Structure formats: structure tokens, C-alpha cells
């Protein structure tokens, strides 16, 4: 991460060096700033480029700030929708003699012994359902993805809430995934797992790290952009 200062404004941005000739600036929906540039580039060129793009960048940030303030908070009642593995499912809550959550023909059904408008109760059941899915799907994808690596000892996988990251490599013995990944497509989950497994060998985002990532997950950039554009950059 770097900091760009322009007048009274100060912005943090992520710098990624790639095999490219031009510079590309992106402001993501979560207001994260990403700058892609060639491996061999002068600092002066980066500074001039950011100053030239400052007005556009500031407008994008202000736009996403307004969107963020208007972001809808779910009430967990019929008619709302939730993402699961990249697909959006309509929520239908029905009164029943048993409590259950299930997917059926593009609908997320919640059967409850409480009032159908009891959002707190519905939320608890839906959260529990997603938590169980996290455990199953993440372990399934982890078992598949680790076949790409030849580590003598594979780290264990944990799930933990994180406010700013999709995943983290805590050590060579453990990597962590954000449970919110369950809302994203499987290729996004795979990308995050590959990314963190690459950190087992290379702790920082060095050139060797990006080379390994490209080897283990070709065209990872498209998946990363899909993840961040549709689901944000935590």
C-alpha cells in the first residue's frame, strides 16, 4: 500500500507491478484504489499520472461514498434476496412446525415456528445455514486447490470474520478465509485460496509471489476483478 498526497487530500492506494506498458487506475465500489503499472517504472511517472487522474479519482470516490450511505440493510423477510456461490436467491419465509433453511428452484426457503416477520429469528437461521455451507464448500475447494501445490505439509484452513480481507495467511501452518466468500462464485473462492497458499512460500507481494500466482492460477486478474467489482474489496 502507498499514499498519494495532493493538496489537502491524502489517499491510500494499492500498487501492482505487472508485465505491461501503460498505467491503469481503478476505484472500486468499496472506495479502494488500485494502480497497475509496468515493473520498471520511475516514481516520477507514477506521481504525474496520479495528479493527472486526481479529479476523476475524487469524483469516483464521492460517488461510491453516496452509494455506501444508501446501502440497504436486510430485514430478513420474504421478498429480499441473498447471494450464494455467486447466484442471487429470492428469500421466502413460511410458517411451519419445524425450523429449516433450504434452496429449492432458485429460492431460499426459510420455514419457521416463529412469526414470518421475525427478522431476528430468520437472520439466526440464515446465518447458521451459511456458516454450515462455509465449512462444507471451503473445505471442498481447499482440498481441490491444494493439489496445485507440492508443499510437504499443507496448512490447515480456518474460517474467521475479517473486516478488510477475503483471506489471510497467518503462517505456514494456517490460512484463514472470510465467511463472506460463501456469497461469491467458486472460482473467486479458489482464487483467494490460491493467493493465500502462494503466501506460504512468499510472504510479501514480491515479483516471485506474482510469478507463482500466475503459475498456479493463470488469468487470476480477471477473477480478482470480478470478485472486487461484484462483491467489494474487503
Q: How far apart are CA 6 and CA 133, in angstroms?
A: 45
pLDDT of residue 70: 59
Q: What is the pLDDT of residues 61-84, one digit of tens each?
A: 888 877 765 566 789 999 999 999
Domain membership flag for residue 29: yes
Cell numbers that stand for 55 in this block: 479529479
The mean per-residue pLDDT over the stretch 169-183 comes to 93
Q: Which residues form the domain of 216?
A: 138-231
Portion of the chain with pLDDT greater than 90, in percent: 69
Residue 234 has pLDDT above 60, yes or no: no
The answer as to whether 145 is a domain residue is yes
- CB environment 137-156: b (16+ within 10 A), e (fewer): bbeebbeebbeeeeeeeebe
Which pLDDT belongs to residue 59?
87
Say if residue 170 is in the same domain as residue 206.
yes
Same domain, 146 and 223: yes
Q: Are residues 48 and 100 in the same domain?
A: no
Please give the distance of CA 102 from its chain centroid, rounded to a whole number.
24
Find the range with the poorest average confidence among 48-52, 69-73, 83-87, 166-170. 69-73
Give the chain's radius of gyration (CA, Å).
Answer: 21
- In the block, which residue shows the cell 470480478? 226
β partners of residue 3: 12
129 and 144 belong to one structural domain: no
Same domain, 57 and 116: no
* Residue 215, C-alpha cell as written in the block: 503459475
189 occurs within a structural domain: yes
Answer whether residue 74 is part of any domain: no
Same domain, 86 and 129: yes
* Res 3 pLDDT > 90: no
pTM: 0.71
Tell me, yes or no, whether 10 and 28 share the same domain: yes
| Residues 49 and 99 occupy one common structural domain | no
| pLDDT tens-place string over residues 92-151 | 999 999 999 999 888 999 999 999 999 999 999 999 999 999 999 999 999 999 999 999
Long-range contacts of 19-23 (CB under 8 A, 24+ apart): 23/49
Residues 111 and 41 in one domain: no
For position 184, which CATH number holds? 3.30.2010.10
As given in the structure block, the three cell numbers for residue 70 are 444508501
Query: Are both 158 and 225 inside the same structural domain?
Result: yes
Other beta carbons less than 10 A from residue 15's beta carbon: 15
Matching residue, cell 411451519: 96
Contact 116/78 with Cβ under 8 angstroms?
yes
Torsion angle in degrees (nearest 10) through CA of 225, 191, 127, 140:
150
Question: Is 87 within the bounds of a domain?
Answer: yes
Residue 75 covered by a domain: no
Arithmetic mean of pLDDT, 158-185 = 92
- 222 pLDDT above the threshold of 80: yes
**Average pLDDT of the chain?**
91
Q: Does 206 fall in a domain?
A: yes
Shared-domain flag, residues 97 and 182: no
pLDDT recorded at residue 35: 94
pLDDT score recorded for residue 9: 73
User: What pLDDT does 47 receive?
Assistant: 92
User: Do both 146 and 187 map to the same domain?
Assistant: yes
Give me the number of domains the chain comprises.
Answer: 3
Residue that terminates a domain, selected from 22, 40, 69: 69
Which residue, chain included where needed, has cell 489471510? 168
Taking the C-alpha atoms of residue 17 and residue 48, their distance in angstroms, rounded to an integer, is 17
> From edge to edge, which strands make up the β-sheet containing 24-27?
2-6, 9-18, 33-38, 24-27
Burial class (CB in 10 A: 0-12, 13-18, 19+), 85: middle
Q: Predicted confidence band at 226 (pLDDT cuts at 50, 70, 90)?
A: confident
CA dihedral (51, 53, 55, 60) positive or negative: negative
pLDDT digits (tens, 9 = 90+) for 25-44: 999 887 889 999 999 999 99
CB 148 within 8 A of CB 216: yes
Residue 76 inside a domain? The answer is no
Amino acid at each position: 500500500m502507498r499514499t498519494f498526497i495532493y493538496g489537502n487530500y491524502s489517499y491510500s492506494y494499492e500498487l501492482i507491478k505487472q508485465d505491461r506498458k501503460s498505467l491503469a487506475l481503478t476505484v472500486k465500489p468499496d472506495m479502494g484504489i488500485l494502480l497497475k503499472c509496468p515493473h520498471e517504472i520511475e516514481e516520477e511517472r507514477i506521481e504525474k499520472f496520479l495528479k493527472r487522474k486526481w479529479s476523476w479519482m475524487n469524483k469516483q470516490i464521492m460517488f461510491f461514498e453516496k452509494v455506501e450511505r444508501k446501502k440497504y440493510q436486510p430485514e430478513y423477510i420474504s421478498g429480499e434476496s441473498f447471494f450464494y456461490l455467486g447466484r442471487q436467491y429470492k428469500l421466502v419465509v413460511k410458517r411451519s412446525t419445524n425450523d429449516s433453511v433450504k434452496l429449492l428452484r432458485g429460492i431460499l426457503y426459510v420455514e419457521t415456528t416463529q412469526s414470518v416477520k421475525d427478522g431476528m429469528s430468520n437472520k439466526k437461521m440464515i446465518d447458521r445455514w451459511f456458516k454450515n455451507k462455509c465449512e462444507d464448500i471451503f473445505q471442498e475447494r481447499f482440498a481441490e486447490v491444494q493439489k496445485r501445490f507440492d508443499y510437504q505439509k499443507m496448512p490447515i484452513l480456518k474460517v474467521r470474520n475479517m473486516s478488510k480481507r477475503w483471506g489471510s495467511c497467518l503462517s505456514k501452518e494456517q490460512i484463514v478465509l472470510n465467511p463472506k466468500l460463501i456469497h461469491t462464485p467458486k472460482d473467486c473462492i479458489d482464487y483467494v485460496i490460491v493467493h493465500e497458499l502462494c503466501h506460504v512460500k512468499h510472504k510479501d507481494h514480491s515479483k516471485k509471489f506474482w510469478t507463482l500466482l500466475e503459475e498456479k492460477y493463470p488469468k487470476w486478474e480477471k477473477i480478482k476483478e470480478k470478485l472486487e467489482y461484484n462483491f467489494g474489496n474487503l
